[in-house]
Amino acid sequence: MSPTLVEALNDQMNYEFYSSHVYLAMASYCESQNYNGFAKFFLEHAEEEREHGMKIYKYLQDRGEQAIITGFGDPSNEYESVLDACEKALEHEKVVTSRFYNLSDIAESEKEYTTISFLKWFLEEQVEEESLFETVVQKLRRIKDDESALFIYDMHISHDEVE
């Protein structure tokens, strides 16, 4: 792998850890508002992002490269509502998808077939991730200001919205 590709993989690994932080902050916001179902949903998602980061970590090590751990900016801890947090989660996933497209472009240009194959899993995962948050956002937009409906959705979200 070229230094450019290794750097891009490292960058994405750290971005996955950052994503984990973003969802942890969203979980904390939901919990502070007593939406414990949404908090659990985001906590589970934070775990998943950490696993994504570790997948890239392991890939780098398996290819004889050192995974370089860096920081990213602070995630936002302030949201206007559960809907606002979920809309931002959806936007975040779209950014992640475009990052995997860029990574795939680099791997393609280098004819790095092993990495192209490795990245396929993430591209497919992103389809699931975007679809998941699209669903949540759509349901929340339908619920709007109906507190009772939101109360019920909060009870069911971590059972209903699984990939």
Binding Fe ion by CB under 5 A: which of 87, 129, 154, 161? 129
Q: Which residues belong to the annotated binding site?
A: 16, 49, 52, 93, 126
Sequence-ordered list of residues with C-beta below 8 angstroms from that of 57, at least 6 positions apart, any chain: 13, 67
Binding to Fe ion in span 13-42, by CB under 5 A: 16
Is 88 a binding residue for Fe ion by CB under 5 A? The answer is: no
Q: Which is nearer to Fe ion, 137 or 143 (CB)?
A: 137
What is the spatial distance between Cα 58 and Cα 37, in angstroms, rounded to a whole number? 32
Could you tell me the smallest distance in angstroms from the CB atom of residue 128 to Fe ion?
9
Per-residue three-class SS string for 135-151: HHHHHHHHHCCCHHHHH
Tokens 């591209």, located at residue: 123
Q: Which is nearer to Fe ion, 87 or 150 (CB)?
A: 87
Residue position matching structure tokens 């007593």: 34
Q: Could you say which of 8, 12, 37, 52 contacts Fe ion (CB under 5 A)?
A: 52
* Helix orientation angle between 82-109 and 113-143, rounded to the nearest 10 degrees: 160
User: Which residue ranges are tagged as binding site for Fe cation?
Assistant: 16, 49, 52, 93, 126
Residues forming contacts to Fe ion in the complex (CB under 5 A) are: 16, 49, 52, 129
